[in-house]
Amino acid sequence: MGMTMTQKILAAHCGKQALQAGEMILADLDMVLANDITAPVAINEFEKAGCGRVFDGQKVALVLDHFTPNKDIKAAEQSRQVRRFAKEQGVAHFYDVGRVGIEHVLLPEQGLVTAGDLIIGADSHTCTYGALGAFSTGVGSTDMAAGMAYGKAWFRVPEAISVRLTGALQPWVSGKDVILHLIGLIGVDGALYQSLEFSGPGVASLSVDDRLCICNMAIEAGAKNGIFPVDEQTLAFLKDHGAQEPRVYAADADAQYARVIDINLSEVPLTVAFPHLPENARGFSDIPADLRIDQVVIGSCTNGRLCDLQQAAQVLRGRRVAEDTRVVIIPATQLIYEQAMNEGLFKVFLDAGCAISTPTCGPCLGGHMGILAEGERCVATTNRNFVGRMGHPKSEVYLASPAVAAASAVLGRLASPEELEGAKA
């Protein structure tokens, strides 16, 4: 029986020739990741168990990105604990304020992820790295502690869903629309503990950034991981970012899938997920024309990359944000911040009336830099819109692409970029 791409990577990391869905394995890890919220819990467990030293200081990454710059005393204490641990343990990949970035954008940018890797992170959106042909998944802080100590983790081999892509995206439509469309089709538990394996001729039309966005939100469908095949675009990205030599795996022709989903990319519309679940996906033909908004957030590990800021700037250039709408722009890393500034994107944003933040997860999880009050609505390029996700439990979050978020900012209501043509800003 053939194996899926995910099963091949897991087999290679546990020393087996073949695996089947449902098997329990102990696999070697290439990278163990945590942030300023999850790392302190892992560190406490690590030290309580008397683990001593991390298994490999080159294979642990600690990123202070959620409540940084520190928003309060508790956040400051947590960050200090991680700084201390990183220094004592010789953690090579430690990122603090001034050289930090949102972890799931930062690691690929820094070349710390390559095709064929097996990565765990104490953050659910660790599944992002499947875009580069890696198996990556989120774990709890206790598993993170064990991973740091022993360089191994237990897995139940997931069965897989094949998502076959054809066609190419229409103008303004992006990877964000694709993944919201898919979650709308299958629901937030439609891929529970399964691998979302993307394939088909449509893959070539998606940029690596599109794929990173899509895999980032695989968890929002309940998936264990999302993964794309390794192609020329992937290899070029890895080379450009100085990643380790890739190990390329491909699904067998007779690999077993729990189901097959066909998506024609040319038919994917601009899509918005309404409160309070990512599965509440709607195209603009099904969206009220007068849904007023109070805030727009453009950033996060889902859509804080340079291409996202470029798309937002394309919409905002020469326009002003609506009088009663506030906009927060968050470049995902220091490098992206610098690139956006040097390209003149910051002037576009500032002229439009936006605020620009240092890299942080901030408002995405209701942490800081954009908390919502009761009754407020936000269009966000983030990944979750659960009750109270970004502030008050009676606030609302609408998930969308940077293009839709920027157009909504200008019109002060949920809107598509096409609506700006002839509209009074």
CATH number at residue 119: 3.30.499.10
Residues 322 and 256 in one domain: no
Locate 3 and state its tokens: 């194996």
Residues 307 and 350 in one domain: yes
C-alpha 393/C-alpha 403 separation (Å) is 27
Residues 171 and 296 in one domain: no
Is 355 part of any domain?
A: yes
pLDDT of res. 422: 55
| Weakly modelled stretches of the chain, pLDDT under 70 | 422-425
DSSP assignment of 62-112 equals: EE--SSTTT-SHHHHHHHHHHHHHHHHHT-SEEE-TTS-B-HHHHHHHTT-
What SS3 class is residue 255? strand
pLDDT of res. 425: 42
pLDDT digits 0-9 by tens, 17-38: 999 999 999 999 999 999 999 9
pLDDT of res. 420: 84
Residues 95 and 234 in one domain: yes
Which is nearest to 118 in space by CA: 101, 102, 139, 100?
139
Is 144 part of any domain?
A: yes
Residues 134 and 255 in one domain: yes
Residues 210 and 287 in one domain: no
Last residue of a domain, one of 265, 297, 319: 265
Is 274 part of any domain?
A: no
Residues 14 and 114 in one domain: yes
C-alpha 105/C-alpha 213 separation (Å) is 10
DSSP assignment of 371-383 equals: PBPTT-EEEESSS
pTM of the model: 0.94
C-alpha 129/C-alpha 107 separation (Å) is 9
Which residue shows structure tokens 């800003």? 425
Domain range spanning residue 207?
5-265
Residues 179 and 62 in one domain: yes
Last residue of a domain, one of 216, 235, 265: 265
Contacts of 401 (CB under 8 A, 6+ apart): 172, 173, 174, 176, 177, 270, 271, 303, 311, 381
C-alpha 284/C-alpha 386 separation (Å) is 21
C-alpha 238/C-alpha 337 separation (Å) is 21
How many degrees, rounded to 5, is the angle at CA 10 between CA 7 and CA 16?
Answer: 95
Mean pLDDT estimate for the chain:
95
C-alpha 359/C-alpha 99 separation (Å) is 9
379 near 372, Cβ under 8 Å? no
